[in-house]
Amino acid sequence: MSMETLQENERGVRLIIAGGGTGGHLFPAVAIAEEFLKRDSRNSVLFIGTERGLESKVLRDYGYPLRTIQVEGIKGKGILRSIRGLSRIPGSMVQSRSIIREFSPHIVLGVGGYASGPAVMTAHFMGIKTAIAEQNALPGFTNKILGRFVKRVFLTFPDREKSFPEKKVVITGNPVRAEIYEDTEVIREDEEMFTLLVFGGSQGASGINRVVTESMTCLGDVKDKLMVMHQTGEKDLDEVSKAYRDSGMDAAVSPFIADMASAYRWANLVICRAGATSIAEITAMGKASILIPYPYAIGNHQVLNARVLHDAGAAHMILEDDLTGESLAGLVKSLHSNRKMIRKMERKSRKLGNKKAAADIVDRCLALQKA
């Protein structure tokens, strides 16, 4: 064995994960990093992101190193911002090259978000093996371009639009952090109590908050049989808390639920948006849900995400234009009275989830590194 090979073995495999910006991109990336480091203590991970993205606030708490580049979005940003975004691409690629040369990765994996494009494309031009992970049913603009250059494309949902070369595609599901699905069994002491988990993402969702509070007057006798865990976001906390107090409902209201794993375990029914991370967590936990897609998501991708679960019988979907307090209350009452339907939805949901998604992606990345 050569001295160079010995040195490589001592250092382990080095992975750069590029992208982020939102929790939908970042938390699947964290799940991949967890699994990658678990494989071998010699392995190492470096994140490339932006200073404005969620990664700059979150990754420090997880203990992962982050390097940032200056890059902005192009699509859907207006003419002036798109021009500015285009003008920053050469500089962001120079920054990416410097980071990549210093870290010397075996693989660069893009997870979506502004930083993903320059870092993955630069790595490709440097002869480094590359891959991307797409969380949504409708691929993002950056990933559609990168899909032409990378070696592997990891998808959450089947590629019905044929956005990527078929030979590169692997359907893995969306990675979920281990803390979410560990110890999924729960013993319910009171089967009469029906627990709702309501959230709209880490910042809350005013549309969901408003309709849920409106639904309280339409629940009738069922109201006394419900327990609600509601993540409101900071802005709507006081208003939503007051609405629950005035209605006399049993509710735990908070701006942010830190222990989502416990919240999922206790929930009989989840009411939330249809972001990729929420979908992945719901299906990994095998939960029945009412999905209310964010109507302004790029490419309407949340509707497409929700439709996958709806068509499989794992969830009900209500478009925001059709959403009223009365319609939501009617659906909650119907599901509360039909526990067999809840169990059926749970089974369907669990079939769509893949707790091994992170492991499958890491397996493929390591195989790619050895190829």
Q: Which residues, 6 or more positions from 8, have their beta carbon under 8 angstroms from its beta carbon?
A: none
Residues 8 and 151 in one domain: yes
Query: Taking a C-beta distance cutoff of 8 angstroms, is the pair 43, 36 a contact?
Result: yes
Residues 205 and 347 in one domain: yes
DSSP string, 76-145: TS-HHHHHHHHHTHHHHHHHHHHHHHHH--SEEEE-SSTTHHHHHHHHHHTT-EEEEEE-SSS--HHHHH
Q: Which one-letter amino acid corresponds to residue 302?
A: Q
Q: pLDDT (tens digit, 0 to 9) for every residue of the chain, 371 residues total?
A: 343 444 455 679 999 999 998 888 999 999 999 999 999 999 999 999 999 888 998 899 899 999 999 987 666 556 676 676 677 788 999 999 999 999 999 999 999 988 999 999 999 999 999 999 999 998 988 899 999 999 999 999 999 889 999 999 999 999 998 888 765 555 454 566 899 999 986 555 889 999 999 999 999 999 999 999 999 988 999 999 999 999 999 999 999 888 888 999 999 999 999 999 899 999 999 999 999 999 988 889 999 999 999 999 999 999 999 999 999 999 999 999 999 999 999 999 999 988 899 999 999 999 999 98
Q: Which one-letter amino acid corresponds to residue 39?
A: R
Residues 156 and 188 in one domain: no
What is the CA 170 to chain-centroid distance, rounded? 18
pLDDT at position 75 is 61
Residues 251 and 301 in one domain: yes
Residues 111 and 193 in one domain: no
Nearest to 329 by CA among 194, 222, 205: 222
Residues 132 and 200 in one domain: no
Q: Which one-letter amino acid corresponds to residue 166?
A: E
**Cα angle 173-109-285, degrees, rounded to a multiple of 5:** 25
pTM: 0.85
Residues 195 and 162 in one domain: no
Nearest to 49 by CA among 38, 40, 60: 60
Burial, 182: exposed, middle or buried (Cβ in 10 Å; 0-12, 13-18, 19+)?
A: exposed
Name the token pair of 71: 């890059």
Residues 16 and 164 in one domain: yes
Name the token pair of 199: 């959230």
Residues 231 and 116 in one domain: no
**Cα angle 272-278-280, degrees, rounded to a multiple of 5:** 140
CATH number at residue 62: 3.40.50.2000
Residues 124 and 7 in one domain: yes
Q: Where are the beta strands (DSSP E) in the chain?
A: 14-18, 44-49, 66-68, 107-110, 129-134, 152-155, 169-171, 194-198, 226-231, 250-254, 269-272, 289-291, 315-317
Per residue in 233-269, pLDDT tens? 889 999 999 999 999 999 999 998 888 889 999 999 9
Nearest to 198 by CA among 299, 329, 22: 329
Per residue in 180-198, pLDDT tens? 876 555 545 456 689 999 9
For residue 188, CA distances in Å to 199, 283, 353 come to 22, 20, 23
Residues 53 and 98 in one domain: yes
Question: For the chain, how far is it from start to end, CA to CA, in angstroms?
Answer: 19
Q: How many domains does the chain have?
A: 2
Q: Which one-letter amino acid corresponds to residue 247?
A: S
Compute the CA torsion angle 84, 89, 94, 100 (nearest 10 deg).
130
By residue range, what is the domain housing residue 326?
A: 180-352
Residues 69 and 197 in one domain: no
